[in-house]
Amino acid sequence: MHPRFRLLLTPRQPLTANLRFRQHNTVGRTLLSSIGLKREFSASAKFNSKSSKPPPQIHMATTKTGQPLDRGTLDILLRRRLFYTPSFEIYGGVSGLYDYGPPGCALQANIVDTWRKHFVLEEDMMEVDCTMLTPHEVLKTSGHVDKFADWMCKDSKTGEIFRADHLVEEVLEARLKGDKQARGIKEEEDKEDEDDKKKKKKKVKEIKAIKLDDAVRLEYEETLAKIDNYDGKELGELIVKHNITNPATGGALEPPVSFNLMFSTSIGPSANLPGYLRPETAQGQFLTFSKLLEFNNAKMPFASASIGKSFRNEISPKSGLLRVREFLMAEIEHFVDPQKKSHPRFAEVKDIELRLLDKDVQLSGKTILTTKKIGDAVKEGIVDNETLGYFLARIFLFLTELGVDPEKLRFRQHMANEMAHYATDCWDAELLTSYGWVECVGCADRSAYDLTVHTKKTGQPLIVRENLENPVVWEEWDVDVDKKWMGPRFRKDAKKVEETIEAISQADREILAAKQAAGEKVMITVEGLGEVELEKVEIVKRQKQQYIREYTPNVIEPSFGIGRIFYSLIEHIYYTRPEDATRGVLAFPPKIAPTKVLIVPLSGNAEFVPWIEKITRTMRKAGIANRVDDSSASIGKRYARNDELGTPFGVTVDFQTVKDGTITLRERDGMKQIRASIEDIVAVVKAQVEGNGEPWEKIVEKFGEFTGQDLE
């Protein structure tokens, strides 16, 4: 776990806090593929093939109905309706920490419930819940202690700390904007939410209209295209080269230093056991592999799954819910035989079409998407294997089931310099939002790395032992040394000599056998002893048989940032009424909506009370979340308030209900109503919530459209 979903070798600025650690050619995990996508690049800008991704492109964020999306307006709606709110706000708040209110909790729970049904139940996975506290030694072995870091620089006079790549990015962007102003090029102002504005005050306060040389402008653009690919030394060189200082004071900055993103702690009162709050859920799954294999009756392949909180001590969290310090992750570790990466259910998904941005297109400096059946993508070698391709298709089905717009969903392949040295292939499911393309799911073939490093550290074999129906038969050279001779001959060095003999390759053993057969001495080189003659040794070729195969499984890992999906989904389903732009609507699918039904009495008449109680009781027994709004506002205003909460259906209790027991049911998006008995209405809603209901047009046709309330 990984979330911009980046992973390996030297810390590569993990831009967000929502997916798991991946190690990139620098480190971290790329969870956000496009911070600053609104940046423009000149047509002459060249793309360096060493860059981590092609130059960002400009995209207009739109609502569900194609209107321009005003992020500020949407953010106000979400906070006002308590989907989320800054934590500890009355104390001034802490950046990167948010609380979810009732609708936010319900929405998150519904996303997680859908994930469980879609993956854990459908794929027969084994769910585990591992501790969030992780000992230092575990994360040292996994690489997080040494590699999971960002680069920060400090103003030595003021003590102000900046994330180095972000500072370089913002300063160069400001200079490019100033260049446009100096050239008389108008640029549309980006609307920023309140948090972004507050953070901007700490950095670039104003844009100075200064014309740049063409070569300098081009250099800035190329630097920005590769900003996520620089290590600490390179960022320091950029800061010096471009004379980047503290934007507020002009003070000089110290060279960037590595800042580990994990929250450290001590386990127990003695403080002798250092640990961390986990940065991902995956390590617990890797460490319980052997027990899970046994639980699964030693059958391969199998998958484990885990949903839980992870933590990342971001230097400068921003972008609302997209980069936070505490976040919910859902991760799958699918353990598979490295020699058998086909999938038994691949035929079920092979014809699903995905919008792909493969690494070759990115290397050419383009972002052109190719729509291709996943079966063809695997056949053509674009996606490495069937199991990886199967999960990409299943991720697509999951996201679209939530309500994600498939036209705003792409799968971007990691380029060679983004992937771990051990990884075979890696793809990110990215959603287009007002922040640009945001990685919400990472899906990687991590080979056998994690199980191998933990096995090496602990000595506990995290392997599979497979009984073979037909034994494997082969011949190999054995070097048999008379140990009664070797012990007295080499004394304390006997172990070293024995290890050297065991390390002799088959090719070299064959050469030694030929020399021995020719009457020559058998000589080997032992470290610290030089050349040593093996006087009493026999080198023979023997036939071997193997009845049990041992191997370390490979891991296919889909990793989901629930918070990122949560926010991106809201942008995809939000729109405003054509007749009133101030009336916002969250068009959640019924199964995902926080509340399924709003119940509104026509007035405060006491005769309506028992009917309301009956309806709420009946719906709750049917498992349908509902709420009553018996305020004095008009029915239209009450419906509008709940459109903002994404409630898909509204029930009205009126005087006709008192007469014949029927109620009306309003559908949120089309606003058409039907009238029927409580039982029929509950059945209609239940089918819609469970995802197997008829289209609303068919329901209206069946029951007839209701056009007026009985007011007396």
- pLDDT(709) > 70: no
Tokens 């799958």 correspond to 332
pLDDT (tens digit, 9 = 90+) per residue, 233-284? Answer: 999 999 999 999 998 888 899 999 988 889 989 998 887 899 999 999 999 9
State the chain's mean pLDDT as an integer.
87
- Using an 8 Å Cβ cutoff, are 345 and 316 in contact? no
pLDDT (tens digit, 9 = 90+) per residue, 123-135? Answer: 999 999 999 999 9
User: Given pLDDT bands bounded at 50, 70 and 90, which one contains residue 24?
Assistant: very low
- Using an 8 Å Cβ cutoff, are 662 and 673 in contact? no
Taking residues 119-126, report their average pLDDT.
97
- pLDDT(370) > 60: yes
- pLDDT(201) > 50: no
- Using an 8 Å Cβ cutoff, are 144 and 262 in contact? yes
- pLDDT(56) > 60: no
- pLDDT(42) > 50: no
Residue 484 burial by Cβ neighbours in a 10 Å radius (0-12, 13-18, 19+): exposed
User: Given pLDDT bands bounded at 50, 70 and 90, which one contains residue 486?
Assistant: confident
User: Given pLDDT bands bounded at 50, 70 and 90, which one contains residue 115?
Assistant: very high
Helix (H, G, I), strand (E, B) or coil at 595: coil
209 Cβ contact partners less than 8 Å away, ≥ 6 residues apart:
178, 181, 182
Percentage of the chain beyond pLDDT 90 is: 66
Give the pLDDT confidence score for residue 580 in this predicted structure.
86
DSSP state of 635: H
Full-model pTM? 0.80
DSSP 128-186: ----SEEEHHHHHHHTHHHH-EEEEEEBTTT--EEEHHHHHHHHHHHHHHHHHHHTT--
Tokens of 651: 């029930």
pLDDT (tens digit, 9 = 90+) per residue, 562-605? Answer: 999 999 999 999 999 998 888 999 999 999 999 999 999 999 99
Q: Partners of 558 in the beta sheet? A: 443
Which one, of 29, 1, 36, lies nearest residue 15 by Cα? 29
Which one, of 245, 236, 171, 237, lies nearest residue 210 by Cα? 171
More confident residue, 207 or 124: 124
Q: Which domains does the chain have, with CATH numbers?
A: 1-130+283-305+318-463+554-580 (3.30.930.10), 464-551 (no CATH), 595-703 (3.40.50.800)
CA 543 to chain centroid: 50
Q: Which of 195-209, 214-228, 376-390 has the lowest average pLDDT? A: 195-209
Q: Which of 166-170, 246-250, 315-319 has the lowest average pLDDT? A: 315-319
- pLDDT(286) > 80: yes
The whole-angstrom separation of Cα 623 and Cα 640 is 24
Give the pLDDT confidence score for residue 199 in this predicted structure.
41
Q: How far is CA 576 from CA 69, 552, 579, 582, 607, in A?
A: 10, 53, 9, 7, 35
